[in-house]
Structure 1
Amino acid sequence: MSTQTNGTTMTNGPQHANGSDKERVVIIGSGNWQVLSTLGSAIASVAAKNVLLHHELFHPEVKMWVFEEDYEGKPLTRVINETHMNPRYLPDIPLGDNVTAEPDLGKALQGATALVFVMPHQFFRKALDGIKGKVSQNARAVSLIKGVDVHGTKIQAYATIVNEELGISCSSLSGANIATEVAEGKFSESTLGVPSPDGFEGDPDTLPDARLWKPLFDTKTFSISVVADVEGVGLCGALKNIVAVAAGFIDGLGWGSNSKAAIMRIGMNEIKDFSLEYFPTTRAETFLEQSCGIADIITSCLGGRNRKVAEAMVKEGKPFQELEESMLKGQKLQGPETALHVHEFLAARGTKRPGGYPLFDAVWRICYEGAKPESIIDKL
């Protein structure tokens, strides 16, 4: 049974169409998407251990939808299922004998009640078309997708789209999480945003979706904090990539730690203000107190591909599209496209924020309008 609150479906209990009272987990997205492929495999490895630990709640098998590709003359899914590793994207890390790679999305979804979305936002809509009509209305989802969806004056986080398009409850998971370190068991934190009733001020760990997702992800070395703020968590994961691009420009210019710290602070404020202005259910403390907020800003601005490619843009004088091809084998960055979407939205909608969002705008101008990287501070 489910109810609708704050625009998000909340599920009250596991009354499953698969005839079982145990949740069946599927990871949607572990194919040739580089960083997010690694994250999908890392999350699968965490989930594989926890479904066995919490056997009273979960079915022991974790399915992982993998976009099929060749690996040393064999289908990647066969290699994963034979070796219980993903040698292309997460080498030498055991996924667990109970993880099953499946190239057919429909088969991967059979009986699934706990859907974990891990994919670049550019591919989400196509995947969603293949999911519609194949998911039980008693299923629940969690989004690890980094991005925002913009159509004119309308902007949405991806958890909201899952909720609206599939009619199921969707949470968000984001934090300062380098995927390989998560899989290797190095200590890190992440934030889980779950649906809540209007005006909820209680313990978010008691909410229905927290009781599903926290046992699936929380470990001694992957610590999960729960907040009643689905959109805030998702927006942090999306917008921080714009700030990471800005930090990469600073590195490329050689401006040093003072400049980079200033960019990080300004970027954090723009993320917070933007989210609070256009997503009224978000909470300021999510950005300032949680791993998905300030901690992820720090991690993304110190490392990661958005920062790395932006630095190369300055030093090599090449556009990010060309560097994607050479540095990332044609895969897409999240930061520049998110900056473009935010620019298009602000141009259509406008803002009440004095001075607008100058850092977001500067990243868009440098990436798409040919502005000089030095101009990043002109309107700050």
Structure 2
Amino acid sequence: MGIQKQKVSVIGSGNWGSAIARLIGQNVKKHSDMFEETVRVWVFEEEVNGRKLTEIINHDHENVKYLPGIQLPDNVVALSDVREAARDANILVFVLPHQFVYRTCESLRGVADSNCRAISLIKGLDFRDDEILLFSDEISRILGVECSALSGANLASEVAEEKYGESTIGTKNLDIDGKILHKLFHTDYFNISVIGDYTGLQICGALKNVVAIAAGISDGLKYGNNTKSAFIRRGLLEMRKFGKTFFGGVHTETFFESCGVADLITTCAGGRNRKVAEAFIGSNKTIEEVEKELLNGQKSQGTTTALEVHRFLEAKKMTNEFPLLTSVYKVIYERAPAESIIDALQH
């Protein structure tokens, strides 16, 4: 393809970040004509059993805190300094909680290669100045690079265990970025499709987490599979309506990709958002307390997105147009009776 070898850096090292670093570490070796062999990973430094987490990853090749029991390739190198991890990178892979995106990107100004491209694996939206923003657009704005996005039915532990799954990459540049990123992520067990609708892809990735909260509330109330299926169906309709109403160029077909209905089903069946919401019902604890107990220091993402989406819909005076998204917010943050969420299915 006539391009220089690409240096890849992964920004983030939770369970999903570690699973992706493992996959990328395999792929850069497989495609050694396209990629440099070393994959640098930024790790937020922590002590685990008296040792630094970076030291454990680099010596034992395992992220014992966030992806225990999974061996990482020896070409995956953990660094605690984010600027060093990203220095001269040609591809930056962002896999971190969305509350850390701005601070991290600001610290990376001028660090990456001038021809750098980025890809966001962040499943969330940002609410600022009464508007909803895509993280790929914000990464592009701060760093001055093109940023694609990846999203799909991808539970991190299953990807790390090489159980077959699919995912979707959305990019503005299908001919160049699409081909390079397909090589970087596609494997026999992780099947990648590439589409141009990077906006719709990110709407799906963010809002499916809110719908999964509804599924978890349903499970916590012991409503059964029929009811949970109704929440999934209603959720898919609201996801599509949200994308079509507030963002230009969103395609209906995107909601039938892995990033759409497949990711929604997987998250509502087995993701952390469903798990947290189920535990929240009847617990007499705040959602933050439940997350802290269950997620080993990580966030569920769906709760934060529910809050931000509600603020946006309130600013637009359109909460009644999205009854399920609104009901999730009210149950989680206003302590509305959990049973009231069933009303969202009557619209």
Q: TM-score band, normalised by the shorter chain?
A: over 0.9
Q: Partner residue of 2:10? A: 27
**Could you tell me which of 270, 292, 299 is aligned with 1:303?**
270
Structure 2 stretches lacking a partner, 5+ long: none
User: Conserved in 1, the CA contact under 8 Å of 2:87 and 2:113?
Assistant: no
Residues 88 and 111 in structure 2, CA contact (< 8 A), matched pair in contact too:
no
- Partner-residue secondary structure (3-state), 2:127: strand
Q: CA distance change for structure 1 residues 139 and 98 in 2, over 3 Å: closer, same or farther?
A: same
**Structure 1 segment 81-100 matched on structure 2, within 5 A:** 81-100=58-77
Letter of the 1:228 counterpart: G
Q: Secondary structure at the match of 2:176?
A: coil
* TM superposition shift of 1:312: 1.5
3-state SS, counterpart of residue 108 of structure 1: helix
Matched ranges for 1:186-205 at <5 A: 186-196=163-173, 204=174
- Structure 2 residue 163 is matched with structure 1 residue 163: no
Structure 1 match to 2:42: 65
Residue of structure 2 aligned with 1:327, choices 272, 285, 294:
294
Alpha-carbon distance in structure 1 between the residues aligned to 2:344 and 2:185: 41
Measure the CA separation in 2 of the matches of 1:137 and 1:286.
31
Which SS does the other structure have where 2:306 is aligned? helix
Structure 1 residue 243 corresponds to structure 2 residue 202: no
User: 1:32-181 counterparts in 2 under 5 A?
Assistant: 37-181=14-158
Aligned partners of 1:91, 1:344: CA distance in 2, in Å?
Answer: 37
Contact preservation (8 Å) 1:190, 1:222: yes
Q: Secondary structure at the match of 1:315?
A: coil
More helix by share: 2
CA contact (8 A) 2:106 2:142 kept: no
Q: Following TM superposition, by how much is the alpha carbon of 1:325 offset from its aligned partner in structure 2, in angstroms? A: 2.6
> CA shift at 1:137, angstroms?
3.0
List aligned pairs for 1:216-231, cutoff 5 A.
216-231=184-199
How far, CA to CA, are the matches of 1:184 and 1:210 in structure 2? 26
SS in 2 for 1:333: coil
Matched letter for residue 87 of structure 2: Q
- Report the identity percentage: 47
Question: RMSD in angstroms over aligned alpha carbons?
Answer: 1.6
CA distance in 1, matches of 2:198, 2:113: 21
Between the aligned partners of 1:146 and 1:379, the Cα distance in structure 2 is: 24
Contact in 1 for aligned 2:216/2:278 (Cα 8 Å): yes
Aligned length in residues = 345
Is the deviation greater in 53-62 or in 318-327?
318-327
In 1, Cα distance between equivalents of 2:296 and 2:18: 20
Counterpart in the other structure of 1:8 = none
Per-residue CA deviation, residues 249-296 of structure 1 (Å, 9 max, x unaligned), is 111111111110000000011011101111112211111x21110011
* Alignment partners' CA distance in 1, 2:23 and 2:178: 17
Q: Quick one: which of 323, 334, 343 aligns to 1:358?
A: 323
- TM-score when scaled to structure 2? 0.95
Alpha-carbon contact 1:144-1:234 (below 8 Å) kept: no
Asked if the contact 1:13–1:208 (Cα under 8 Å) also holds between the matched residues in 2, the reply is: no
CA contact (8 A) 1:152 1:345 kept: no
Q: Does the 8 Å CA contact 1:214/1:224 hold for their aligned counterparts?
A: yes
Cα gap change, 1:332 to 1:163, in 2 (>3 Å): same
Distance 2:105 2:338 in 1: 37
Question: TM-score scaled to structure 1, two decimals?
Answer: 0.87
The match for 1:369 among 327, 334, 339 is: 334
Query: Match for residue 212 of structure 1?
Result: 180
Tell me how far apart the structure 1 counterparts of residues 131 and 2 of structure 2 sit (CA, whole Å).
Answer: 32
In the TM superposition, what is the alpha-carbon distance from 1:13 to its structure 2 partner?
A: 7.9
Quote the offset at 1:322 in angstroms. 2.0
CA separation in 2, counterparts of 1:320 and 1:217?
A: 34
Structure 2 match to 1:266: 234
Q: Quick one: which amino acid aligns to residue 198 of structure 2?
A: V
